Structures are given as C-alpha cells and as structure tokens.
C-alpha cells in the first residue's frame, strides 16, 4: 500500500512505498502532502523539485537551488530540470528532454538511483543521485513528477570538483564527507 511521503522517508531514501498526489486546477498542478508545503520542502536538505505534465518546473526547494547553482524561473520555460546543464557520468551532455524526469513524465515509470551530473553556470559540477516519481491524481493518471536528488559521494567521476571546492554554505544531502 502506498503512503504519503514524509521528510523522514525522503531523507532515509525509503522510497518503496512513497506515493505523491495532486490535482490539476485551472490547467496547473496543485500538489498535495509534503509537496504542498514549501517550508517543509525547504527543511529537507536534499534537492526536491516538481514538474507539471508538460515538464515545466513549478516548484523547488532551497537544496535543489544549491545543487543547481542557480535559481530557475519557476512556472515558465524551465523544462525537466532547473540545472544549467546536465551531463551523463561519462561527461557527455545530456539533453534535458531525455533526462530521468522525462521518462516519468512521458511513461509514468519511476526512475531510481540514476547518476546525473548537474553543471552550474560557473562550470562547477555536482554528481547527483536522482530518484524521480510520478505525481498522480485521484484516477491514478500521471499529472506531474517529483525529482528527489542528493550529492552522490559514493562515486568518483573525472572532472568533478571536490565538495570543498563547491559552495560550502550550500547543503545537498546528509552524511557527506568534507
């Protein structure tokens, strides 16, 4: 049985029974549960952002902004991700429209534990471990997606700056070694 997500479940990576819900009102996604509470989202030290069915980024928390190195323009033309540039772990550019959130938006699948490099506008890069889930309405139709990502410190990828070289006052995930 599915459960509404809690901050503890998100921090612990306990995604097996997570269920994200919402509804479409006047053509736009209205999230329910923890995703409806910006203060609750901001209190979670891992990146979280929400996409409408057309892939427009409509909501994010402070940790997502820190992970991207920029504040996206919410609800406008930002699609699939708020990162300036995405890369595969190999270093090749990953077009936003084929990034993990697109799989969820287009197919209703869940993407678990995918590695994606988020490149900041200043060139700094963060290896992120992403988990993307559909947001469903009461009829179980996919009406959006939520991406939960954290700094993946368990892998080394050539060309990434060490965490200490990144912005030290931003937090993206618990348990990182400095």
pLDDT digits (tens, 9 = 90+) for 89-140: 999 999 999 999 999 999 999 999 999 999 999 988 889 999 999 999 999 9
pLDDT digits (tens, 9 = 90+) for 44-102: 999 999 999 999 999 999 999 999 999 999 999 889 999 989 999 999 999 999 999 99
Q: What's the per-residue H, E or C state across the chain? A: CCEECCHHHHHHCCCCCEEEEEEEECCEEEECHHHHCHHHHHCCCCEEEEEECCCEEEEECHHHHHHHCCCCCCCCCCECCCCCEEECCCCCECCHHHCHHHHHHHHCCCEEEEEEEEECCCCCEEEEEEEEEEEECCCCCEEEEEEEEEECCCCCCCCCCCHHHCCCCCCCCCCCCC
Catalogue all structural domains in the chain, each as residue range(s) with its CATH number: 3-165 (3.30.450.20)
């Amino acid at each position: 049985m599915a459960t509404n997500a809690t901050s503890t479940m998100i921090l612990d990576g306990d995604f097996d029974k997570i269920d994200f819900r919402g509804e479409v009102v006047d053509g736009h996604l209205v999230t329910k549960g923890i995703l409806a509470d910006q203060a609750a989202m901001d209190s979670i030290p891992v990146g979280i952002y929400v996409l409408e069915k057309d892939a427009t980024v409509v909501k994010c928390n402070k940790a997502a902004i820190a992970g991207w190195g920029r504040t996206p323009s919410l609800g406008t033309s930002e699609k699939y991700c708020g990162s300036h540039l995405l890369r595969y772990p190999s270093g090749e550019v990953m077009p936003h429209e084929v990034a993990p959130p697109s799989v969820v938006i287009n197919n209703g699948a869940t993407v678990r534990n995918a590695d994606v490099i988020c490149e900041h506008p200043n060139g700094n890069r963060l290896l992120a471990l992403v988990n993307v889930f559909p947001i469903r309405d009461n009829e179980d139709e996919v009406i959006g997606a939520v991406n939960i990502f954290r700094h993946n410190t368990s892998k080394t990828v050539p060309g990434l700056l060490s965490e200490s070289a990144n912005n030290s006052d931003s937090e993206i995930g618990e348990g990182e070694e400095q």
